[in-house]
Amino acid sequence: MSDNAIEVKAIVKKFGDFTAVDHISFAVRDGEIFGLLGPNGAGKSTLIRMMVTLLQPTEGTAVINGFDVARQADDVRRSIGVIPQAMTSDLELSVEENLLIFAKLYGVPRETRTRLITELLEAVELTQWRTKQVKLLSGGMRRRVEIARGLVHEPRVFFLDEPTTGLDPVSRTAVWGMLQRIKSQRDLTVLITTHYMDEADKLCDRIAIVDHGKLVALDSPGALKASIPGRDPDSVTLDDVFVHYTGRDLRDALQEPSAADSPFMIRR
Amino acid sequence: MSRAWAIIERELRRFRRSPMLIVMSMIFPLMQLIVLGYAFGGNVKHLKLAIVDQDGGVPAVKIRELAAAVSSGARTLDLVDYTDQGIAMTDLRNGRVNGVLTIPPDFSRRSLTNSSPRVALISDNTDTFVSATMAGTVSSFVSALNAPTTPVRVEGAAGLDVVEVYPYVPYIQYLLPGSITMSIFMMVMIGGGIIFIDDKARGLHEGYLVTPITKLELVAGFNISGTIKAVLAGAVIMVLGSLIAGVPSPLDPIRLLRMLLVVTITAFSLISLMFLLMVRVTDPLMPRAMFGLLNTVLYFPSGAVYPQAGFPDWMKVIAAVDPFTYAVHAFKSLLLKNTGFGAIAGDVLFLFVFSAVAMTAATLLFRRTL
């Protein structure tokens, strides 16, 4: 078995005539925190959705924990945790009930459920809120519920699709801190997409920049900064790296109408 | 199938925390039962009948006396005397009276000479219930006028004796089977279809789809939880409705058990139908828009409010495949006739086959990916 938790080879996703992901290949090593950067409509979410079995690739393959996403989808699902972009916790249920239902959906044995849920609630600092309905919690706390929910079956690979989008700076910092702490306590590989360059810079071991469905750069934050010609790597930021590889500023890109969003949103 | 139970558990925990959903899905059928049951179930009374007596003879006076007897007894008619036929007709057209009974000038002469005496009833037939009631009432006292004053010792004409097998069934009891079915349908739509699509639109289903749950487990989970919710609604309306409608022995345990079986299979067939219709829907407006349409297409052709024998052929075809038809028939058999399983076996079999087909089709159509 290879050292890679994720291996993506020439993966393509088309919606009709539109190519959302265009022959992207990369690998994520076991235990790595891997960041996917790119504006809305770049293809990040589509790429993640193929890796977590929510979308069938049009071409190419993705192997997660040694399981092919097309042929061994259930094995992939058992070995991964997923936090989708939207807040998908059940607002009517309590924090603990949300975790309990997902533990059952993943087939976690009865005797380990309670221990796992207690440990996770401690890890995301929600122990005192365990009996509260999720609708009573703040946005940052709901995100932490989802992080705990995604880990309730002890996955080996954790996919997070823009987990801090829409959160205030304090909640964002708390979520990232929590992820780092959980990562340090578990044998976990993390693949995360984000818009926040500074956070990706601090947290990710390696970063892939995706634009218009293509992989335009992939390396460690330091190496990406060093790849900018004629600049002192210490003064270069990931924003500069993004401009260099995509030819535009991330904020501009975020405000562009997204061709990729439309076909995807229609399909949802 | 343990994952299906997780879906059921989640749905029922949510349901328990939504008292408004429970109340709303029961209030509408109960209100419908009470309002329609009492609005349509009463006898028509106080219809205004204008009498224009252009004759004034003894036979004409006798007709007026018979009309007055109906007016003071059953109170079906309120009599208004007119001397001018034209004014009476104007008042009929303006809605001040419901009918005009004209006794022509030669009525007494014809009556006494046995020369086919006739009176005329001109009625406002824009309301067929009213005009039919009025025609029936006037016919009855005109017939009484023709009856021999001395009874015939040995009757030669054939007579008809009507024997009713069951006690009198008021309209509110006739409506009750439809109201129980409607309460099940309401819960299926509100607690099943609308919540299912809203959850899908909010992305909650994405959370399920990344778990190892199978298509069958997901569909079964949603169907069984929807069935449990709908059975609760149906059972409550079954008991409350029976008490309100005055069904004899409403708490007879054997009948309640049989009713519960029909409630359960009806709930399962309707939730399977709903899930089949919603399995590929993503727009939250769709189930809300379909609610009214399905209500009309399923409820009215079922025979819940009007006998199917009066339907045109095309509507009989709809009624034949409508699960409401079989549920209403089974509830009628149990509630109004207190029959055994023999009378409802066909209904239960249809609903079971319908559920199996709808659920299988929904499972096949369900997409495991986005």
Question: Does position B88 have pLDDT exceeding 60, yes or no?
Answer: yes
pLDDT one-digit tens code per residue, A59-104: 999 999 999 999 999 999 999 999 988 888 999 999 999 999 999 9
3-state helix, strand, coil in chain B (%, to 5): 70, 5, 25
Is A40:A90 a contact under the CB 8 Å cutoff?
A: no
Domains recognised in chain A with CATH numbers: 1-79+157-167+177-268 (3.40.50.300), 90-154 (no CATH)
Whether complex ipTM tops 0.90 = no
Whether A90 and B206 lie within 8 Å, measured CB to CB: no
Whether B206 and A267 lie within 8 Å, measured CB to CB: no
Question: Does position B325 have pLDDT exceeding 60, yes or no?
Answer: yes
- The residues in A 26-55 lying below 8 A from B, measured between CB atoms, are 49, 52-55
In B, minimum Cα distance to A72 occurs at B212
Question: Does position A250 have pLDDT exceeding 60, yes or no?
Answer: no
Residues in chain B with CB shorter than 8 Å from the CB of A88 are: 202-204, 206-207
Strand partners of residue A26 = A8
Q: Looking at residue A254, what is its pLDDT?
A: 53
Smallest Cβ distance to B370: which of A86, A106, A267?
Answer: A267
Q: Is A5 on the interface with B (CB under 8 A)?
A: no
Nearest-Cα distance to chain B for A59, in Å, is: 16
Pick the CATH number of B43-145 from 1.10.3720.10, 1.10.150.570, 3.40.1710.10, 3.30.1490.100: 3.40.1710.10
Q: Looking at residue A255, what is its pLDDT?
A: 53
Question: Does position B53 have pLDDT exceeding 90, yes or no?
Answer: yes
Across all residues in chain B, what is the average pLDDT? 90
Q: Is A267 on the interface with B (CB under 8 A)?
A: yes
Question: Does position A1 have pLDDT exceeding 60, yes or no?
Answer: no
Q: Is A11 helix (H, G, I), strand (E, B) or coil?
A: strand
Task: Give me the count of residues in chain A.
Answer: 268
Distances (CA, A) of A128 to A14, A125, A141, A215, B111: 46, 8, 12, 43, 97
Q: Looking at residue A159, what is its pLDDT?
A: 95
Residue with tokens 């086919």: B116
Q: At what angle do helices A95-105 and A139-150 cross, to 10 degrees?
A: 30
Q: Looking at residue B26, what is its pLDDT?
A: 82
Residue with tokens 């089949």: B276
Nearest-Cα distance to chain B for A93, in Å, is: 6
Q: Looking at residue B314, what is its pLDDT?
A: 94
Here the tokens at position A252 are 């501009």
Mean pLDDT for the stretch of residues B261-268: 97
User: What is the sign, positive or negative, of the torsion defined by CA atoms of B207, B212, B216, B220?
Assistant: negative
Q: Is A15 on the interface with B (CB under 8 A)?
A: no
Least confident of A31-35, A189-193, B18-22, B364-368: B18-22
Q: Compute the distance between CA of residue B225 and CA of residue A129 in angstroms, rounded to an integer.
A: 27
Distance of CA A220 to the CA centre of its chain: 17
- The residues in A 189-248 lying below 8 A from B, measured between CB atoms, are none
Q: Is A217 helix (H, G, I), strand (E, B) or coil?
A: strand
Residues in chain B with CB shorter than 8 Å from the CB of A85 are: 203
Question: Does position B138 have pLDDT exceeding 60, yes or no?
Answer: yes
Give the pLDDT band of residue B169 (cuts 50, 70, 90).
confident
Q: Looking at residue A142, what is its pLDDT?
A: 92
Residue B65 class from Cβ within 10 Å (0-12 exposed, 13-18 middle, 19+ buried)? exposed
Give the pLDDT band of residue A160 (cuts 50, 70, 90).
very high
Strand partners of residue A84 = none
Question: Does position A256 have pLDDT exceeding 60, yes or no?
Answer: no
Give the pLDDT band of residue B266 (cuts 50, 70, 90).
very high
Q: Following CA atoms B54, B55, B58, B59 in sequence, which dihedral angle do they give, to the nearest 10 degrees? A: -80
Question: Does position A169 have pLDDT exceeding 70, yes or no?
Answer: yes
Q: Looking at residue A61, what is its pLDDT?
A: 95
Is A165:A195 a contact under the CB 8 Å cutoff?
A: yes
Q: Looking at residue A88, what is its pLDDT?
A: 87
Smallest Cβ distance to B203: which of A53, A80, A86?
Answer: A86
- Percent with pLDDT over 90 in chain A: 58
Smallest Cβ distance to B17: which of A78, A92, A101?
Answer: A92
Q: Compute the distance between CA of residue B141 and CA of residue B80 in angstroms, rounded to an integer.
A: 17
Residues in chain B with CB shorter than 8 Å from the CB of A90 are: 10, 14, 204
**β-strands A33-37, A80-83: how paired?**
unpaired
Smallest Cβ distance to B14: which of A52, A73, A92?
Answer: A92
Task: Give me the count of residues in chain B.
Answer: 370
Kindly give the residue spans of alpha helices, DSSP state H, lying in chain A: 44-51, 73-79, 95-105, 110-123, 139-150, 169-185, 197-203, 221-226, 238-246, 250-255, 261-267
Across all residues in chain A, what is the average pLDDT? 87
Q: Compute the distance between CA of residue B20 and CA of residue B6 in angstroms, rounded to an integer.
A: 24
**Closest CA relative to residue B222, chosen from B265, B263, B268, B264:** B268
Q: Looking at residue A267, what is its pLDDT?
A: 36
Mean pLDDT for the stretch of residues B86-100: 93
Intervals of CATH 3.40.1710.10 along chain B: 43-145
Q: What is the DSSP letter of B298?
A: I
pLDDT one-digit tens code per residue, A45-56: 899 999 999 999
User: What is the sign, positive or negative, of the torsion defined by CA atoms of B329, B335, B337, B341?
Assistant: positive
Q: Compute the distance between CA of residue A215 and CA of residue A16 in angstroms, rounded to an integer.
A: 21
Q: What is the DSSP letter of A28?
A: E
pLDDT one-digit tens code per residue, B232-255: 999 999 999 999 999 988 899 999
Contacts of B277 (CB under 8 A, 6+ apart): B193, B290, B294
Q: At what angle do helices A110-123 and A139-150 cross, to 10 degrees?
A: 140
Using the CB atoms, write b or e for A42-52: b if 16+ within 10 Å: bbbbbbbbbbb
- Percent with pLDDT over 70 in chain A: 92
Q: Is B201 helix (H, G, I), strand (E, B) or coil?
A: helix
Chain B contact residues (CB < 8 Å to A): 2-3, 5-7, 9-10, 13-14, 17-18, 201-204, 206-213, 282, 368-370
Question: Does position A111 have pLDDT exceeding 90, yes or no?
Answer: no
Q: Compute the distance between CA of residue B331 and CA of residue B347 in angstroms, rounded to an integer.
A: 10
Q: How many CA atoms lie within 13 A of B364 on its CB side?
A: 6
Residue with tokens 């945790």: A81
Question: Does position A262 have pLDDT exceeding 50, yes or no?
Answer: no
User: What is the sign, positive or negative, of the torsion defined by CA atoms of B266, B271, B273, B274?
Assistant: positive
